[in-house]
Every structure is written in structure tokens, then in C-alpha cells.
Amino acid sequence: MNAARLVNVSKSFGEHDVLKSVSLEIPTSRCTFVVGPSGTGKSVMVRHIVGLLRPDSGEVYYQDARVDTLPEERLYDLRRRCVYVFQHPTLFDSMSVLQNVSLVIRYHTSHTPAQADALALEQLSRMGLESRAQSRPNELSGSEQKAVSLARALALQPETLILDEPTTGLDPYAAFELDNHTGRLAQTGMTLIIISHDLRSIRRLAHDVLFLLHGHVRFHGPARDFFASTDLAVRQFVEGRVEGEI
Amino acid sequence: MRLLLTCASLLSLASWSILRLKVSLRETLAQFHEAGVRSIPFVAVTMGFIGMIGVYQIASTMARILPEFSTLGAATLQGLTSEMGPVMAGLLLATRVGTGMAAEIGSMKVTDQLEAMKLSSVDPVEMLVVPRLLSSAMAGLTLAVMGTAVAYFAGLAVAWFGFSILPDTFMSLRFVRMHDLWVGVSKAVTFGVTVPLVSCACGFDARGGSEGVGTATTRAVVYSSFAVILLDAFISWVAEVLVR
């Protein structure tokens, strides 16, 4: 079964064609990395899956539900099952770390505020952040903010998690820790869609790789085939060379 | 035009949430504390001065034309109840509370916090707009009543010490009709709803970075003050037509 499916999706911003008739299928219970040079439409592509963007033409499906024609209120249910975590931590800065996480629990369940706080604390402790529960987001480091964003997303108990460049801006140790956590999620059978440029993360975690270039899908297949690919653009990306099509 | 559409959209979505009782009491009370309770000193001091200046000006003029002050207190109370109390409370609410709302929501908009809310399946209208509308409606009424009282008693002090008008003479209800009371209450509640509605809409419409937040804040105070004045004229007109 597919977690997400795009059929001939095109999207432009002004005169800039970002996605050009893209068709693809992302399977469930696998960790798919979406890679490609900056500005090639990776974030734009995944934002279509959660209905944050609507295509100019084409069809977008999450499992069997067509997303691009769903009204906004119906998207809320979809976004609870398929959670998108932004590249930069978008924590609610007027709330404490604990409140950031407990808010979504209180909103979607019938738990009392005390119960929601307890569940949120449990979620934070899994990320090693229980001691920062009462801090404000601006008192946290970048990696801690990213971890809280992830904890908030996981509080919804989603079946699919979309992470937009989770390790960008983190030091190698923090990136390694975050990868460990993502790896544990992948082992639970959760569908993961991760936008990344981090080849080390891709080598460690990816089941599949989707390589976007100039608004087209250039490669989509198992991670080992990606790293063994003889496609010149893929080779250039993997080897980090300046000269070439990219 | 865009702002009007945003206001209409927010009002309809917020009304729908209220009808379904999707209201966070905790957040509404917190907002009431921010919009109402914390505005008391600002409104009290401002309305006190307005009451003193108003009575001083009117009494000075009356002293030159017809040195007879028996109607001064009653006329002041009538004017404050139906006009100055709610209008000044509305304008002060726009200045102190509306700007804060536009800046907070605008800042959340430009830092993608509103998008993050949607992505957490949390409705931003239910979470941010509804508590602000309800708390501000209550705050508008409370501040109008309190402001009217403060202005009236500050005016009484000026009348007594400045023009030797005894409190017994000044404190008269004879010009205040039930109609004035209803007009005043209607205005106070309407302004209490309008100010957060316009201010939240300005925040939701914010674009760009910190410059966008600044623009949203300026627009909030300008358009919500303008809306208060326009609605004041409209409600006064409707009230007069109904009385006739």
C-alpha cells in the first residue's frame, strides 16, 4: 500500500516552474529520503501531501484519499495521521516546552490538562528533554528546539512522519542522536518521509531514495541502488562535485 | 478589501466554533486578564482626565453664557453613558490590546507558527481568535462601565472644587433613559468584538518578516479605531431611528 501518491503534479510560483508533471508513489512502513539540490522542489513536493500546497494540475493522494480537493477542515484529520515537521523549529513561543507538546494532546483527546501534561512529559523524556519542560522555546538550543518539534509531532501518534531537513544546522553529535531517534521510529513500522542533504543520514537510515532535479524525479528506488547509480547527476550529488548538470 | 474578507472569514469561523462550544475557558480567562484587567489602570487614568477636561470645558462655557449648572451632571452622565464611555473604551482597547494581538499573531504568521498549528491539526481560529473575541467583548463592556464611572466622578470633583457645584446637584440621572443604557451597552460589546476581529485579521494577513509584523500592528490600530468610529455613528443612527 502507498502512503502517498502524486499523479502528474505540476506547481509554479509566478514564472518559476517548480514541479513539472511529477508522478511518484511512496510506500508505507518505509523510510524514504527525498534528496536533491536546493530549490529543486523537495519541500514543495511534500507540502502537497499534507495539503499545505495545492497543485496547479495533477492529483495528490494520501493512502486512498485525494488530498488536493479536500476542504481545509477535512485536512485536519489527515494532518493528524500524517504529520509534517518544518525545517526550522516552529514552536509556539508564548508557551513553555511542556505546553507546546501538551496542547496537541489536549486538543485531540479528552484527557484532562493534568493527564495531557503527564503524557507530554513522557514524550519529552523519550527525547531526553524532561528537564527543559518548563523552559521557553527561546531558551533552548537549536537541536533541543528540533527535538521538541519532533516530540510535539509524535504526541499526535501519527502513522506517517514527514521531516524537512531534520539534521540541518545541528552539530554532528546532535545530528547522530536525532538519527538514532528517527531510526527507532522506522523500526516501529512508521512511514518516514525525510527531506535531507545529509548523505550520512541517508546511508544510515534510508530504505528508498527519491532524487528530484529541476522539477522532475530523476531517481526513485532502493538506497543501495541510489549510491550505486551511474546516472551523472546522481553521481555528482553523491560525490559532492561542483562540475556537472546540477 | 482583503482585510474585510479576512474579517468576514474569521468572524464566521469563530462564530461556528462558539456555536459548537469549542471554547477554551482557560485561554479566554487568560485573555480577559490581559485585555481587561491589565487595561484598568490605563483606561482609568485616561478616562479620569477625559472626565475632568470635559466637565471643565462645558462648565467654563456654561459659566460665560448662562451661569446655571443644574443640568451639567445629568448631561455629562448621559453623554458618557451612550457615547464617550463606550467609544473611548473601544479606542483605548484598540490602542492597548489590538496592537498586541496583531503583533503576536503577525509574528506567529511570519515564523510559520500558524502553519505549524494547522499541521498539528489545531485550528488557529479556535485557539487564537475565539478566546480573544470573547474576552475582549467582556473587557469592552467592563472597561466602558468602569471608564464611564471614573470619568463621571472625576468630572464631579472638577465641578465641585472648580465651580462649586455640589455633588447632590451634579449627581442626577434625569437625562439618562433606558435607551441610552442599551445604546451604550450595545456599543461597548460591538467595539469589544470589532477591535480583536480587525486586529487578528491584520495579524493573519501579515507577510514578510519583522517589517510585516510592524505593518500589521500599524494597520490594526488604524483600522480598528476607524471601525470603532464608523460603528459608533451607525449604532447611534440606528438607535435614533428605533426611538423615533
User: Crossing angle for the helix pair B85-93 and B130-163, nearest 10 degrees?
Assistant: 130
pLDDT in tens, A55-110: 999 999 999 899 999 988 788 888 889 999 988 888 998 899 999 999 888 888 88
- Residue of chain B with shortest Cα separation from A150: B120
C-beta atoms of A79 and B118 within 8 A? yes
User: Crossing angle for the helix pair B130-163 and B40-65, nearest 10 degrees?
Assistant: 40
DSSP state of A14: T
Mutation choice for A interface testing from B120, B122, B127, B128 by most A CBs within 10 A: B120
Residue A245, in any domain of the structure: no
Share of chain B above pLDDT 90, in %: 75
> Cell 472648580 maps to which residue?
B162
Q: Establish, for the pair of chains A and B, how many residue pairs have beta carbons separated by less than 8 Å.
A: 55
Nearest to A55 by CA among A67, A71, A63: A67
CA distance B31 to B86: 20
Which of B104, B116, B119 faces A94 most closely, judged by CB atoms?
B104
Range of the domain at A201: 2-239
pLDDT category of residue B173 using cuts at 50, 70 and 90: confident
pLDDT in tens, B81-115: 999 999 999 999 999 999 999 999 999 999 889 98
One DSSP character per residue, A46-88 reads HHHHTTSS--SEEEEEETTEE-TT--HHHHHHHHHHEEEE-SS
Residue A198, pLDDT score: 87
Which of A50, A75, A103 faces B122 most closely, judged by CB atoms?
A103
Residue A168, pLDDT score: 85
Residues of chain A contacting B116 with CB distance shorter than 8 Å: 86, 90-92, 149
Residue A244, in any domain of the structure: no
Nearest to A49 by CA among A89, A87, A17, A22: A22
**Bridge-based pairing state of the strands A82-85 and A160-164:** parallel
- Residue A198: phi and psi, rounded to 5, are -85, 100
B16: burial class by Cβ within 10 Å (0-12, 13-18, 19+)? middle
- Residue B239: phi and psi, rounded to 5, are -60, -40
C-beta atoms of A90 and B113 within 8 A? yes
Mutation choice for A interface testing from B25, B110, B119, B126 by most A CBs within 10 A: B119
Residue A59, in any domain of the structure: yes
Residue B244, pLDDT score: 67
Nearest to A85 by CA among A3, A168, A16, A177: A168
A63: left (phi over 0), alpha (psi -120 to 50) or beta: left
Window 68-127 of A: residues touching B by CB (8 A cutoff) are 75-77, 79-80, 83-86, 88, 90-94, 103-104, 107-108, 113
CA distance A88 to B108: 13
Residues of chain A contacting B107 with CB distance shorter than 8 Å: 93
Nearest to B118 by CA among A164, A162, A76: A76
CB B22 within 8 A of CB B130: yes
Residue A35, pLDDT score: 94
pLDDT in tens, A135-150: 999 999 888 898 899 9
Residue B166, pLDDT score: 92
Residues of chain A contacting B31 with CB distance shorter than 8 Å: none
pLDDT in tens, A37-55: 888 899 999 999 999 999 9
DSSP state of B84: I
CA distance B44 to B244: 35
pLDDT in tens, A152-171: 999 988 999 999 998 888 88
> Cell 490581559 maps to which residue?
B34
Residue B84, pLDDT score: 93
Share of chain A above pLDDT 70, in %: 100
CA distance A22 to A218: 10
Q: Report pTM.
A: 0.79
C-beta atoms of A84 and B119 within 8 A? yes
CA B66 vs CA B55, B59, B155: distances in Å: 15, 10, 19
Interface confidence, given as ipTM, is 0.72
Task: Specify the DSSP element, H or E, that contains A16.
Answer: strand A16-27
Which of B104, B112, B122 faces A90 most closely, judged by CB atoms?
B112
Mean pLDDT along residues A28-36: 94
- Chain B residues whose C-beta is within 8 A of a chain A C-beta are 26, 104, 107-108, 111-113, 115-123, 127
C-beta atoms of B121 and A77 within 8 A? yes
Does any CB of chain B come closer than 8 Å to the CB of residue A13?
no
User: What order of strands is seen across the sheet that includes strand A208-213?
Assistant: A82-85, A160-164, A191-195, A31-35, A208-213, A216-222
Query: For residue A140, what is the domain's CATH number?
Result: 3.40.50.300
Residue A235, in any domain of the structure: yes
CA distance A26 to A195: 13
Residue A164, in any domain of the structure: yes
Higher per-residue pLDDT: B129 or B112? B129
Structural domains in chain A (count): 1
